[in-house]
Amino acid sequence: MTSINELQLAKELIKFPTVTPIDAGIMKFLEKKLKTLGFKTKILEFKEKNSKPVKNLYARLGNQSPNFCYAGHLDVVPAGNLKEWTVNPFKPSVKKGHLIGRGANDMKSSIAAFVSAVSNFVGNNKKFNGSISLLITGDEEGVAINGTKKSSRIFKKEKREDRFLFSWRTN
């Protein structure tokens, strides 16, 4: 089973310039990583009138209850004045033990840590009761109409999620 290093994955995610609503290929990248862990995935793209399309990712490992769903976002706010950065915001680096780059704090590192934890859990627990899922949006920093709100409709088609972990404030 693949073990995913959280720092390495966080650096890889930060390299994608995912300023809302730009996907820059990040959902496909994360989807590929999750598939190596055995997740079944679905990219969900939504568009509202007068807004640009946004890609979201739903991934699920197993189909039993209870299900634990982690919700997060991979979009970031604009980097602002690049002269105010000590590094290129989309070329992550570690300085004095801190990961620096756009999305390092909000919230690409959080997603990387969860995926790493899942990779370790699955590696040590070939069989477990329940299932694990992720709902990752590309529209939290922007108008937030083509992200979690619309992606969560998938739960009406499937069994409702038993437990959610939202690692950021939601509308």
Q: Give the chain's largest Cα–Cα span.
A: 50
Indicate the helix (H) or strand (E) that contains 109. helix 108-124
Distance of alpha carbon 72 from alpha carbon 36, whole angstroms: 20
Q: Is 6 a catalytic residue?
A: no
Q: Do 10 and 92 touch, CB atoms closer than 8 A? A: yes
Torsion of CA 107, 41, 29, 9, to 10 degrees: 50
* CA-CA-CA-CA torsion sign (7, 16, 18, 81): positive
* CA-CA-CA-CA torsion sign (138, 73, 143, 145): positive
The active-site residue out of 6, 23, 75, 141 is 75
Q: Is 140 a catalytic residue?
A: yes
φ/ψ of residue 47, rounded to 5: -140, 135
The active-site residue out of 23, 140, 141, 161 is 140
Residues noted as catalytic: 75, 140
